[in-house]
Structure 1
């Protein structure tokens, strides 16, 4: 026991040393603040809580004892400790304004508002006046903190806009506050200090507006995997959510000295009583990685009437609204095809749980997926492709894509799907499928830019140049513009990865991300070592094919195809897979040597089209950015107008599936698609296995009569074409690459095929079930 002037500390010497160390860190963080304020803060937070007279059992008395001496310096000393409050409020307001009919005349209840710092921020950013806010109620149980807030907002109180109540948050009473009345409710580092938090949360539920109301909580908190069992789909994402045993217990014990409780029950109860719109799991890196979270929620039963409609839109099933389906009514499957999200929604409703988080989003672009799928582990939480290496111009020429088509394609980086959406007659539905969640996070981000009508110059900085002008700019764009149009999973990913991905440092930094970045980096390194950077720039600025060919033949080609480079890189299986994304099964399909294959890929390119004006694929590889007259369709002025137009906008027609292609095809209604583009996907299969057969049969099921599968292959005669022909298709090679010729602007593949469905299979077996295919 350690004796002090305030009593005895029931801790050991090592624990006390730890407390002092954190105190020193805090003092260092506040070094530029008034020394007296820092001393008061440290005394009240690190020493006073251990005094015997500090705990009376009366919450209000204990709070007042804790805050009375530091009320005047509260705001100064919480800037570093209470991280993220401004971002939480911005995120809440962004979601509220995205769904509120007018965005004006709002009613806001701020629970545990302290000295009114939340109100100060809102006053500076959103303006607190009668036009924007009909009424703001700030509730806190400490009279000293309320007194500070009353001084700050004396004018707003006099005008009747702000009302400050010193009351227990679980039973406050407000005249005129009725059910369905509150637009915004916030808990800012307060829920962790409320003993009867369940009563407080229950108390606010009836008041929240059921259609557009938003609840926001930012607080300290610890979670473990055990807290998520049975409700993973309701949480809005697990990234960074669970801490280690040691950190959880350390921070729980540490904060309990100040009567702040980081146990998971408070957050769990929020996630049970409301539907999760967004969930971010963060760390205060300045003060020892203290775990905190930002959570945005809404009415739990907000989307009950949409469950079947969303399922129909995801699966292409016919839709018929069940009669009398209302709030909290039982939802039943009415469609022949049922999505995984629909199954989860029905199961959750049976158990009284909120629906999967994706159902509460403003847009339902992202289809529900099981975040714990072990197949995702192979991607290490990163996308492989930052750009798409397929030529969509040839897709359009071959397939004649039009507005009568329902199209499905591998997502990759999403550039080709966006190209199809930019066509004069865009497909009526565009499904993107990718097993890598991060590839869909990437396309979600691009789609959100168009949904939010992000300024075209800003869009160009992001995906044309690959970087922004300041470090904080991406996070501000993400929270204030893009967040309502992203799933919670995608938002978590980009909050964590985005600032570095689009950092102002580096040359086209975004295009130096993804697993294939190594190919670009190695190529640039090779040109630097060979002192060819000047010639590469000349190649990318050539004005004629003759000039382009001359530079290639004289300078660049001899270096790339030298014996050393061939042996160390092009002929290296590790390089092929890690840098270029070429798996072993595909490499085995290449006729002849890999070096000759690469020569036949690159040599004809310089004779086909100008890299400077008509080949943005190779221009990007050499320059790490696009040119405004040489870029994917979605970055052009015409593409931007198309994708942000108010009429016939194709963006709402996107659906992103995070699963295997087979799992998606199984759940789509029979004969619901007209075009499926699978890139070189089937080259990855083992010729001795059954994967190709199963997938081809499922492709047959999903396609309408005369529906087409388009694929590319590293082989001129892929082994699986025979399997297509044996299962209801007629297959035609629409382009075959001969030595010295090119078949498109990428020329990465030896052949392009179109397989047309001519008959439906009566029934067929997969490894998991027997599937019957019916014509609609």
Structure 2
């Protein structure tokens, strides 16, 4: 074996092992039960209007519904995992039904005592694949189940439940401090609570949990992103998570941070929740629900099947994975995006890395980026877990 072959052998083994685990987890279950990107920032950057035609990654569908409040002509929600689209379809069905109490119990509280009859009332609105999924998994909303909340089901929810349970059992006071932090009256009070909470969080157990590749896989963080963080962030993954958590918990108001609340407590509140769960927005969303169209495929497959000029693309962070794992597919996706865009089409991306290295150089030449806008906005992101935020317009 040559030296070059010996050098690449570990990488091939890592890739094959990651493929096996990642595809086993992601190919067979729901991953995200809530979006982990801040739509408040997205909507400021995207500037959606009545002529907007949006192509986006579905995730859990929360942000597609948030964008819908701005009245775009159409939103194409794309995900390779049909279970993600099934979540969006159930949300849309409950929104169309128009009963805010049922909608909030399902996706605000995360459980409903009458989950079976309510599901039966909207089941006919769902696609065949969504019906298949929910026929089997509607018990995710059973308040009598061991986990008691939809938000502790699916891969990311299970990881949150396991990690939270382990920490809360090891140090019961952590939960009390976390609840105090969520209800703090001011940033100063919140920062004081977190200063007391932080040393309780970071011990041997939390460091061990962060080193578990399976936990990261359940959270939807693939090996390429972990490697990207290890290679680009001083101190690696542990320092990255510590710094991000400190910034969010000390520097941004926790009272409005529904992203972290739902995984700490298992539910939202009426005053701390995504916009689709605010009662005043229900009539508007119900009237526009048919503008959201789920598609189970890749972005490239969608664009090949549905060519046209789209005004906005929201790509989340999936290109981190493509750049490391399938660079040819990444280039093909960009070629199709640019072929189905016009000058001024807006593109929003996030990355675990700190720069644009995941975007192929020839593509960067076709785009105009605005780091002077995104850098300060990134600091206000209530999720706070991404390394960078990127907004571009097609030249």
Scaled to the shorter chain, the TM-score interval is: 0.7 to 0.9
Unaligned stretches of 5+ in structure 1?
A: 1-374, 759-776
Equivalence for 2:60: 413
Asked whether the equivalents of residues 25 and 155 of structure 2 are also in contact (C-alpha less than 8 Å), the reply is: no
Equivalence for 1:468: 112
Query: How far 1:514 sits from its partner (Å)?
Result: 0.8
Inter-CA distance 433–600: structure 2 relative to 1 (3 Å threshold) = same
What RMSD, in angstroms, separates the aligned Cα atoms of the two structures?
2.2
Equivalence for 1:505: 144
Following the alignment from structure 2 to structure 1, what is the Cα–Cα distance between the partners of residues 40 and 104?
Answer: 21
Computing the radius of gyration from Cα coordinates, the structure with the larger value is 1
Unaligned stretches of 5+ in structure 2?
A: 1-21
Query: How far 1:459 sits from its partner (Å)?
Result: 0.9
Secondary structure in 2 aligned to 1:516? helix
Runs (4 or more) in structure 1 with deviation over 6 Å come to none
Equivalence for 1:54: none
Which of residues 574, 577, 594 is equivalent to 2:217?
577
* 1:730 and 2:377 matched: no
* 1:449 and 2:94 matched: yes
Secondary structure in 1 aligned to 2:345? strand
TM-score normalised over the length of structure 2: 0.87
Following the alignment from structure 1 to structure 2, what is the Cα–Cα distance between the partners of residues 379 and 717?
Answer: 27
Structure showing the higher helix proportion among its residues:
2
Following the alignment from structure 1 to structure 2, what is the Cα–Cα distance between the partners of residues 633 and 609?
Answer: 19
Inter-CA distance 406–508: structure 2 relative to 1 (3 Å threshold) = farther
Give the number of equivalent residue pairs. Answer: 365
Inter-CA distance 432–743: structure 2 relative to 1 (3 Å threshold) = same
Following the alignment from structure 1 to structure 2, what is the Cα–Cα distance between the partners of residues 659 and 462?
Answer: 27
Secondary structure in 2 aligned to 1:581? coil
* 1:652 and 2:290 matched: yes
Equivalence for 1:37: none
Following the alignment from structure 1 to structure 2, what is the Cα–Cα distance between the partners of residues 378 and 513?
Answer: 13
The correspondence of residues 634-645 of structure 1 with structure 2, limited to 5 A, is: 634-644=276-286
Equivalence for 2:77: 432
Equivalence for 1:618: 260
Following the alignment from structure 1 to structure 2, what is the Cα–Cα distance between the partners of residues 640 and 444?
Answer: 16
Asked whether the equivalents of residues 608 and 745 of structure 1 are also in contact (C-alpha less than 8 Å), the reply is: no
* 1:494 and 2:134 matched: yes
* 1:594 and 2:237 matched: yes
Inter-CA distance 511–726: structure 2 relative to 1 (3 Å threshold) = closer
Which of residues 682, 685, 690 is equivalent to 2:322?
685
The correspondence of residues 3-42 of structure 1 with structure 2, limited to 5 A, is: none
Asked whether the equivalents of residues 669 and 702 of structure 1 are also in contact (C-alpha less than 8 Å), the reply is: yes
Which of residues 593, 597, 606 is equivalent to 2:249?
606
Following the alignment from structure 2 to structure 1, what is the Cα–Cα distance between the partners of residues 267 and 362?
Answer: 39
Inter-CA distance 737–505: structure 2 relative to 1 (3 Å threshold) = farther
Equivalence for 2:184: 542
Which of residues 618, 627, 632 is equivalent to 2:274?
632
The correspondence of residues 378-397 of structure 1 with structure 2, limited to 5 A, is: 379-397=26-44
Equivalence for 2:19: none
Asked whether the equivalents of residues 110 and 151 of structure 2 are also in contact (C-alpha less than 8 Å), the reply is: yes
Asked whether the equivalents of residues 409 and 433 of structure 1 are also in contact (C-alpha less than 8 Å), the reply is: yes
Asked whether the equivalents of residues 54 and 313 of structure 2 are also in contact (C-alpha less than 8 Å), the reply is: yes
Query: How far 1:508 sits from its partner (Å)?
Result: 4.6
Secondary structure in 1 aligned to 2:185? coil
Which of residues 517, 520, 535 is equivalent to 2:160?
520
* 1:458 and 2:102 matched: yes
Following the alignment from structure 1 to structure 2, what is the Cα–Cα distance between the partners of residues 378 and 575?
Answer: 11
Query: How far 1:691 sits from its partner (Å)?
Result: 2.3
Query: How far 1:513 sits from its partner (Å)?
Result: 0.7
Equivalence for 1:177: none
Following the alignment from structure 2 to structure 1, what is the Cα–Cα distance between the partners of residues 290 and 313?
Answer: 19
Query: How far 1:524 sits from its partner (Å)?
Result: 3.4
Deviations 1:111-162 (A, max 9, x none): xxxxxxxxxxxxxxxxxxxxxxxxxxxxxxxxxxxxxxxxxxxxxxxxxxxx
Which of residues 738, 755, 764 is equivalent to 2:392?
755
Equivalence for 1:342: none
Following the alignment from structure 2 to structure 1, what is the Cα–Cα distance between the partners of residues 322 and 278?
Answer: 36
Deviations 1:20-55 (A, max 9, x none): xxxxxxxxxxxxxxxxxxxxxxxxxxxxxxxxxxxx
* 1:558 and 2:199 matched: yes
TM-score normalised over the length of structure 1: 0.45
Asked whether the equivalents of residues 82 and 129 of structure 2 are also in contact (C-alpha less than 8 Å), the reply is: no
Query: How far 1:727 sits from its partner (Å)?
Result: 5.8
Following the alignment from structure 2 to structure 1, what is the Cα–Cα distance between the partners of residues 228 and 26?
Answer: 24
Inter-CA distance 623–378: structure 2 relative to 1 (3 Å threshold) = closer
Query: How far 1:376 sits from its partner (Å)?
Result: 8.6
Equivalence for 2:10: none
Structure showing the higher strand proportion among its residues:
1
Query: How far 1:430 sits from its partner (Å)?
Result: 0.4
